[in-house]
Amino acid sequence: MKKLLAIIIMVLGIGTMSFGADKSLAKIKEAGKMVVGLDATFAPMGFRDENGEIVGFDIDLANEVASRLGIKAEFKPCEWDGIIFDLKSRKIDMVWNGMTITPERKKQITFSEAYFEDGQIIFSKRANKVDKISDLSGKKVGVQLGGSADFAVQKSEIFREIKEVKKYATNVEALMDLEAGRLDAVVVDAVAGKYYNSKNNNLTYSSESLTKEYYGVGMRNEDKTFRAAINSTLDEMKDDGTFKIIYEKWFGKEEN
């Protein structure tokens, strides 16, 4: 029993020493910046505006976190299919760009706590709101061809009851047809649909989601103190209302 207790204490001690030896946050602060990798075409999370400046919801969050840590955020566009390699090879310090937390990615890197929930939701005109998945029965529904919404609709239990599924090259085209009255509903990523609707607020969206996924900030497994600082700062921003202000800037006020 004493031997077992000694082993447990030793293991806990090694874990504490390992965390204490991690200098990732200290190195970031010494450099005075955190290099954020992103695909600069993913509106509204991170993209270039008409002036070529990188802007977006994630950009505002990262800038605020950096400011509170006493450093600056430097944004580095990367090829998305190689962004984890860029992170692991230390070309960037983090990936902050609407990155979905998946089991496959967690085998290679670690994530902050989830800070954003996304999924495929249903947009419709306010006068004829489609609030639940079952409400798609008998409706003419738009989706992006080959997109997540396309597959989500095909896999849904209501698929065979939908009157027609019309496929578009882009989500914007589908949403414009919805506004024009040529569709009853559009299934689209919540992040993209809410951003589109924040421009004029002509549409409404469902309380139910066909799928659910979560975004996190991707970091190296060994960067424990840096990850802890990101998590605590995001929590602080949620507590003091700053996170909500940034959210409403890009997506408008929540309805429900």
Pairing of strands 140-144, 185-189: parallel
Q: What is the pLDDT of residues 134-173, one digit of tens each?
A: 999 999 999 998 878 898 999 999 999 999 999 998 888 9
Exposed, middle or buried: residue 118 (CB in 10 Å: 0-12, 13-18, 19+)?
buried
* pLDDT, average across residues 113-128: 96
Res 28 pLDDT > 80: yes
Same fold, 24-117+214-251 and 120-211: yes
Supply angle C-alpha 49, 205, 102, rounded to 5: 70
Q: Spell out the residues 6+ positions from residue 210 whose beta carbon is closer than 8 angstroms to its own.
A: 119, 120, 121, 122, 133, 149, 152, 153, 156, 187
Structure confidence at residue 239 (pLDDT): 98
pTM, two decimals, is 0.73
What's residue 255's pLDDT? 58
- Strands 110-111, 41-42: parallel, antiparallel or unpaired by DSSP? unpaired
Compute the average pLDDT of residues 174-178: 96
State the average pLDDT over residues 70-83: 94
**CA dist., res. 30 & res. 232, Å (int):** 20
**Distance, C-alpha 151 to centroid of its chain:** 19
| Side chain identity, residue 37 | G
* Helix H or strand E encompassing 176: helix 171-179
Read off the pLDDT of each residue in 58-76 and give the average, rounded to a whole number: 98
In this structure, what DSSP letter does residue 75 have? E
What DSSP designation does 160 have? G
Tell me which CATH homologous superfamily contains domain 120-211.
Periplasmic binding protein-like II (3.40.190.10)
Domain 24-117+214-251, CATH number (from 3.30.70.60, 3.40.190.10, 3.30.460.80, 1.10.472.10) = 3.40.190.10
What residues does each domain of the chain span? 24-117+214-251, 120-211
Please tell me the distance from the alpha carbon of residue 248 to that of residue 55, in angstroms, as a whole number.
15
- In this structure, are residues 193 and 149 in contact, taking their beta carbons and an 8 Å threshold? no
Is 86 in a helix, a strand, or coil? helix
